[in-house]
Every structure is written in C-alpha cells, then in structure tokens.
Amino acid sequence: MNTRIGRRAILAAPPGLLLASGTARAAYPDRPIRLIVPSSPGSGFDVFCRLYAASMGPQLGATMVVENRPGAATAIGAAAAARSAPDGYTLLGVDNATMVFNRALFRNLAYDDERDFRPLGLTVKVPMLLVVPAQSPYRDARALIEAARMQPDRLNYATPGVGFIHHLAMARLMKATGTRMMDVQTRGSVASVTELIGNRLDTAVIDIATAQEALKTGQLRPLAVCSTERLEDMPEVPTIEQALDIPGFVAEAWNGLVVPAATPDPIVERLSAALLVSQREPAIHERARAIGSYVLTGGPMVFAERVSAERAAWRPLVGELGIQLD
C-alpha cells in the first residue's frame, strides 16, 4: 500500500494529526510546548514572547509554556534550546544578540546560530533613535556630528553596555562619520535616559520603547531614527540616511522565533502558519504600539534575509572594534 502523503494533505490534516516518513506518529502536539525566552521576566522581550505564546497556543491546540533563561546576552537560553530534541516541543525567542552579535562578541559560544536553528518568523521590532537632552544646543543630527568632528572625544554618549545594539549603533555611526565620542556605560537603558534627561550626558542611540515617555514630555529631542523609513508617530524626524547621507544605515532591536535545526518540515510549517496568524492579530499590534514597538510580519524566508543582512553589516564592525566579551 502506498502511504506517501503530499505536503498539502499534511497541512490540511486535522490539528491533532501528524504523518511523517509515511508512518502515523503520535499526535502533534499532544503535550505542552515550551517557549524558551533568554531574557528576564517582565522585559520587553519577555512580554512579546508571552503575547505570541498566548495567541499561538490555541491555534495549535496546545498550551505554550514560557520558560525564562536569561544570561550571557541570551546565550544561556539559546544553548538550552540548541540541545533540545527537534520535535516541535521547544521554541526559542531570539533577538539581534542571539542571531547576529554573539558569534562575533564571544570566542566561546555554546551554540551555533547558523547551524543549530531554523527560523519560524519574526515577531516585533523596536526602532532606535539618535537623541539629545532637551537643553542640548544641537538641533539636528548634522550639528551634533559636526561638533563631534571638530572636537574628538569631547562629547560623550550613553550606552547600557558594550555589545548592546545601542553601543554598536553609535560605534557604527561614528565610523561612518569619522567622529569620536566617549562611551559612558550606564546601568541599563532606563539609566541612560535618566542621565540624558539630567543633562549629564550629551547624546545616545536609545530604543524608542525605553525613551517613549521622555520623548512625549519633551525631555529628550529626537534627531534621527535609525530605520529605513520615518516613524508614523514621528513623521518630522528624519532617518539617519536622510539626516547624514549615510546610505543603508539601519539599527533596530528585533525579536523572532526559531526551533532546533532538525525539526521536521511539517511541524515547522505548522508553527510558522500559527505565527503568521498571530502577526495579524489587532491586539498584538495595539500592545506593540502602546509601548513604542511594531509588529514584524514575515515567515522563515523574511527572517533569514534580515539575519543575513545584519550579519554582513554588524559582524565586521565588531571585529574592527576588537570587542570581546569572554
């Protein structure tokens, strides 16, 4: 008897059925699905992973359980997922650090972002802004850069730490403009905003989610957005490319979902389809916009294209800067 079943038949099968290699296997899913979040509970990363888990679970007919494993710039959680069985019962939330920066920042990494995972799709992005305090004399990005060029190392900028997107974005900006400013590391992005509001630091590239309230109240002045397009909520703020004539300058924090690399195609397709439905949910879009973020759409191919482009842009920069975190 010919037991081969086509791809369309698999995708059209009832939620509790999975056929692979021509043999009926246990229903998928028949137990809770684990979503590893390599960040602390309550972080923006965690919040969105939980939103997507709550949306995808009912579509799959299973409970999705979030397991927080923070530490080592997401590497601890990523390593745990990489070692998990590729059976569709372990997903991993990832960000720029997991899939782009860590390979260049750490000599000894307990996972391989290129070999250990396959993408399901993107979830959310948080735009980054070049900002100055409201009392700053610099009214636009060009004035700030000209001042930095005329007086190297006189101006300073805030970052939450070496290797964060905030730090790397400023390093990339200085390299592109031939300027030097002093890096002042704070105790996180919120602390960076506090120092800027207090007029104790000159500038920063900061994520809009953290800076949202300070921007609304006029305590910070946005000079440029580090995206390819202007933001809907700030149409008057130019992009870095528009403000400083730096083609292709993009620096955004983003998240996505992956599974272990050997996860079977039918399961990956099922999970990606559920993620696609969740990406369209108005409630998730509303929650994202409320905290200065934007839902990203697109499945495995769009995810892979973004990661490939960012590896090409950021990893050589980390090498040139000589940054190592271990």
Average pLDDT value for the chain: 90
Is it the case that residue 151 has pLDDT exceeding 80?
yes
Pick the last residue of a domain from 244, 271, 289.
Answer: 244
Domain boundary at 244, 267, 289, which? 244
Contact 28, 269 (CB under 8 A): no
CA distance 279 to 51: 10
Contact by Cβ (8 Å): 169, 251: yes
Q: Say if CB 223 and CB 206 are below 8 A apart.
A: no
Q: What is the pLDDT of residues 284-325, one digit of tens each?
A: 999 998 888 999 998 999 999 999 999 999 999 998 888 888
Same domain? For 134 and 240 the reply is: yes
CATH code of the domain containing 71: 3.40.190.150
Asked if 120 and 20 sit in the same domain, the reply is yes
Task: Give residue 196's pLDDT.
Answer: 97
Q: How many degrees, rounded to 5, is the angle at CA 233 between CA 227 and CA 238?
A: 45
- Asked whether residue 171 falls in the same domain as residue 98, the answer is no
**Comparison of pLDDT for 259 and 5, the residue scoring more:** 259
- Domain stop point among 244, 264, 291: 244
Query: Has residue 294 been placed in a domain?
Result: yes
Looking at the structure, do residues 56 and 115 belong to the same domain, yes or no? yes
Which is more confidently placed, 258 or 293?
Answer: 258
For residue range 225-238, list pLDDT tens digits in order. 999 999 988 999 99
Give domain status of residue 144, yes or no: yes
Return the CATH number at 209: 3.40.190.10
The answer on 192 and 302 residing in a single domain is no
| Structural domain total, the chain | 2
Q: Report whether 84 contacts 117 (CB < 8 A).
A: no
Between 14-23, 128-137, 207-216, 299-308, the lowest mean confidence (pLDDT) is in 14-23
Q: Residue 90: inside a domain, yes or no? A: yes
Domain assignment present for residue 326? The answer is no
> Are 102 and 22 part of one and the same domain?
yes
Compute the distance between CA of residue 309 and CA of residue 289 in angstroms, rounded to an integer: 25
User: What average pLDDT does the segment 175-182 reach?
Assistant: 96
What number is the average pLDDT over the span 214-242?
95
Q: Is residue 154 part of a domain?
A: yes
Rounded to the nearest 10 degrees, the angle between the axes of helix 44-60 and helix 282-290 is 180
Contacts of 150 (CB under 8 A, 6+ apart): none
Residue 62 sits in the same domain as residue 12:
yes
Domain coverage including residue 295: 7-125+254-321
Residue 23 has pLDDT above 60, yes or no: no
Residues 310 and 237 in one domain: no
Characterise 68 by phi-psi region: left (phi > 0), alpha (psi -120 to 50), beta (else): beta
The pLDDT tens digits of the residues spanning 107-125 come to 899 999 999 999 999 999 9
In a domain, 249, yes or no: no
Q: Indicate whether 73 and 153 sit together in one domain.
A: no
pTM here is: 0.85
33 and 115 in a single domain? The answer is: yes
Q: Are residues 138 and 238 in the same domain?
A: yes
Residue 148: inside a domain: yes
**For residue 2, is it within any domain?**
no
The confidence score (pLDDT) of residue 162 equals 87
Specify whether the CB–CB gap between 238 and 224 falls below 8 A.
Answer: yes
Helix (H) or strand (E) run with residue 196 in it: helix 189-197
Is 215 within 8 Å of 204 (Cβ atoms)?
Answer: no
Res. 18 pLDDT band, cuts 50 70 90? very low
Same domain, 144 and 239: yes
